[in-house]
Amino acid sequence: MSFDGRSAIVTGAGGGMGLNIARDLLATGANVTGVDLKDRPTGFGYGLDEGPGKALYLQGDITDEAFVADVFAKTQEANGRLDYLVNAAALLWFGHDKSLVEMDLEVWDRVLDIDLRAVMLMARHAVPLMQASGGGAMVHVSSTQSLRGDPNPQDAYTACKAAIIGLSKSLAIQYARDGIRSNVLVPGMTDSPMQDRFKDQPEIKQAIADSIPLGRLGQPQDMANAVLFLLSDRASYITGTELVVDGGTWAGM
């Protein structure tokens, strides 16, 4: 898959699957704006400068519309167009995000800001630039948590991840005639920094891996592979749908 000369914005590019997606797009020739609250990744194997695409890294809060507008303005200035948007940033707030009966409403509001409002803001500013570029593709990252209830609830996260699916379908239908596609990646359990809660509990990670039909946790690269396919011209007839990448977990429920 070649993205030579195309322009992409990837949120959550400071680590995990967002970083993998950004690096893979750079490696295939895309010019990538990585966006995150985290510092720009540095060091061998973690940088965003490998190319051949050009990298731009912008640090800030994507729940702030002024910052989001600046991201798109700087991307347009650098690349002259926008072809792709990947909404990979998210907050999974263990210990705080729980049952709606129990959680502080400030937690609910903050999770919705990061996991849903930011997705909306990024798409809101992406559409006009994609229209001007003659089309484009978006991939929004949801979760298998959106497809089920949970006896250990994270109600704000679950609500956001389900809402992303509905929002993506609406975008797909609204802008299909403009050549803009919108799809959702639905990852299962992924061995990424978001799951650092298990880093000192290898037995729990192994038990989870053993419960997955393919016998392992997902890796950020598995998710990056799926996202690049959905962005690519090979998926040019795919819009308004979800790609579940979970090692077969959901199929076995």
Catalytic residue list: 157
Cα 56 to Cα 33, 34, 53, 89: the distances in Å are 5, 6, 10, 17
Query: CA dihedral in degrees (240, 135, 132, 84; nearest 10)?
Result: 80
Q: Which of 25, 55, 59, 16 is nearest to 189 (CA)?
A: 16
Residue 51: strand, helix, or coil: coil
Amino acid in the structure at residue 116: L
Q: How far apart are CA 109 and CA 114, in angstroms?
A: 9
